[in-house]
C-alpha cells in the first residue's frame, strides 16, 4: 500500500544541502517571539484546536478560507479520531506527521503511514497560506497516483522548518517554477519553513502555541523509517471554545 508522503527524494536532498542549519528556539523569550512572528493571519476569530501530546501541548488555528479541510478536521476532532494516534514520522528541521489510524496501538517497529479514513479532500491551495515554520498541512499520495493533489482525509503534518537563504529560494524558483512574494521570502529567510512544498500540499492552519513542543518532537531518536523509537502520542484533540 502506498504511503502518504510529503516530499520527493530529490527535494529531500535539496532542502538539507541548500538551506542553512535549522535555527532552533532555545529560550522562552525566543519561543514567544517566534510564535508571535509566525502568523500573518488574523487568528483571533479562527477555530482553535488543542492537541495534548505525550510531550506537551500544541494549539493550532484552522483557516476559514480552506473550508473543506477545516470542516473535516473539526469533524474528526469531535469524533475523537485523533485521540491515541501517534506522530509516526519526524524529520528534524522539516516536519512532524501524524493522523494515521493504523498508529493506534501499533507495535514497536511497525511501518506506518499508509492508514487512511476512506476518502480524500480536494486541494484548497491559497497563495496566502504557505509552508512557513508552524504551518499545519495535509499529507497526500504522490502525483503518480494522485494528479489532482487531493489531500488525505486524516493525515496531517506540522512544519518544523529550516531557515533558508536567498540563493536557495532562487534555486527553488528556477527548478520548480514556483514564485514567492517578498513577504514569503522574508519569512522563509528569517523564521524558516519548507518553501519547496508550496502549491503541492494544502496548508489549512498554523501553530499558535507550542512550537517548542514541535521542535522537541522533531528532535527525538527515530528508526530508518523516521518513526520515533519511543511513541509520541496525541493523547487528545479538543476544539477550544
Domain limits for position 121: 9-103+115-240
In order, the DSSP letters of 173-187 are HHHH-----HHHHHH
Residue 96 is assigned to a structural domain of this protein: yes
Residue 109 is assigned to a structural domain of this protein: no
Chain centroid, CA 66 distance in Å:
15
- pLDDT grade for 13, boundaries at 50, 70 and 90: very low
pLDDT above 90 as % of the chain = 80
Residue 194 is assigned to a structural domain of this protein: yes
Residue 15 is assigned to a structural domain of this protein: yes
Residue 4 is assigned to a structural domain of this protein: no
Domain count, the chain: 1
- Mind listing the pLDDT tens digit for each residue in 95-137? 999 999 999 999 999 999 999 999 999 999 999 999 999 999 9
Residue 162 is assigned to a structural domain of this protein: yes
- pLDDT grade for 39, boundaries at 50, 70 and 90: low
Residue 69 is assigned to a structural domain of this protein: yes
For 42, residues 6+ apart whose C-beta sits below 8 A from its C-beta are none
Q: Output the pLDDT for position 48.
A: 98
For the domain that residue 99 is a member of, what is the CATH number?
2.40.100.10
* Beta bridge partner(s), residue 97: 89, 157
* Residue at grid coordinates 473535516: 72
Residue 108 is assigned to a structural domain of this protein: no
Grid coordinates standing for 117?
479514513
How far apart (Å, rounded) are the C-alpha atoms in residues 184 and 189?
Answer: 9
Amino acid at each position: 500500500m502506498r504511503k502518504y508522503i510529503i516530499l520527493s527524494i530529490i527535494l529531500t536532498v535539496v532542502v538539507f544541502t541548500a538551506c542553512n542549519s535549522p535555527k532552533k528556539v532555545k529560550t522562552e523569550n525566543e519561543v514567544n517571539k517566534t510564535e508571535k512572528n509566525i502568523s500573518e493571519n488574523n487568528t483571533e476569530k479562527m477555530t482553535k484546536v488543542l492537541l495534548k501530546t505525550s510531550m506537551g501541548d500544541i494549539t493550532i488555528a484552522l483557516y476559514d478560507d480552506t473550508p473543506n479541510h477545516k470542516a473535516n478536521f473539526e469533524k474528526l476532532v469531535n469524533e475523537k479520531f485523533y485521540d491515541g494516534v501517534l506522530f509516526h514520522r519526524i524529520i528534524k528541521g522539516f516536519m512532524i506527521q501524524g493522523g494515521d489510524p493504523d498508529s493506534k496501538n501499533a507495535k514497536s517497529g511497525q511501518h506506518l503511514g499508509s492508514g487512511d479514513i476512506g476518502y480524500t479532500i480536494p486541494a484548497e491551495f491559497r497563495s496566502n497560506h504557505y509552508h512557513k515554520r508552524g504551518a499545519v498541512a495535509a499529507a497526500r499520495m504522490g502525483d503518480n497516483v494522485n494528479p489532482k493533489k487531493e489531500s488525505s482525509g486524516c493525515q496531517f503534518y506540522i512544519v518544523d522548518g529550516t531557515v533558508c537563504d536567498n540563493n536557495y529560494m532562487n534555486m527553488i524558483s528556477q527548478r520548480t517554477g514556483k514564485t514567492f512574494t517578498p513577504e514569503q521570502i522574508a519569512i522563509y529567510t528569517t523564521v524558516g519553513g519548507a518553501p519547496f512544498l508550496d502549491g503541492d500540499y494544502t496548508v489549512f492552519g498554523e501553530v499558535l502555541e507550542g512550537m517548542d513542543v514541535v521542535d522537541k518532537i522533531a528532535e527525538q531518536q527515530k528508526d530508518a523509517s523516521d518513526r520515533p523509537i519511543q511513541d509520541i502520542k496525541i493523547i487528545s484533540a479538543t476544539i477550544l471554545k
